[in-house]
Amino acid sequence: MLIRIVKMTFDKGNTATFIESFKSVQKSILDFKGCHHVELLRDDNNLNIFFTYSYWDTEEDLNEYRKSDFFQEVWSRTKSWFSEKPEAWSLNRIVDMTSINH
């Protein structure tokens, strides 16, 4: 499973617009082949910084999503609200310690 994290920094006046936009497309993202989870996180100390966190079966599934007309439309709109260049990471889980029995 591939974990994708994208960091986005927005102009102050665009954060509420971005949150509403994300809420309106989240289900559509989940409907893409290979996507099992997508969420939006906000930095506790800088309220203009957001992260999307998503799980994909494969890098190919993520790339197919990124090539889609849907993504191109959403990303084009979203990037117009940025105050800094976004950053992205594709990660593979090595160890999962969410369920530790003591």
Looking at residue 74, its pLDDT comes to 97
The tokens for 35 are 């996507």
Note whether residue 27 is domain-resident. Answer: yes
Residue at 101 is within a domain: no
Please report the pLDDT score of residue 102 as a whole number.
56
Query: Is 102 domain-assigned?
Result: no
pTM of the prediction? 0.89
The answer as to whether 19 is a domain residue is yes
pLDDT one digit per residue (tens) for the chain, 102 residues = 999 999 999 999 999 999 999 999 999 999 999 999 999 999 999 999 999 999 999 999 999 999 999 999 999 999 999 999 999 999 998 887 776 665
Question: In the prediction, which pLDDT does 95 show?
Answer: 82
CATH number at residue 28: 3.30.70.100
- Residue 19's nearest CA partner among 55, 48, 53 is 48
> Is residue 24, in this structure, part of any structural domain at all?
yes
Q: How many domains does the chain have?
A: 1
Range of the domain at 83: 2-92
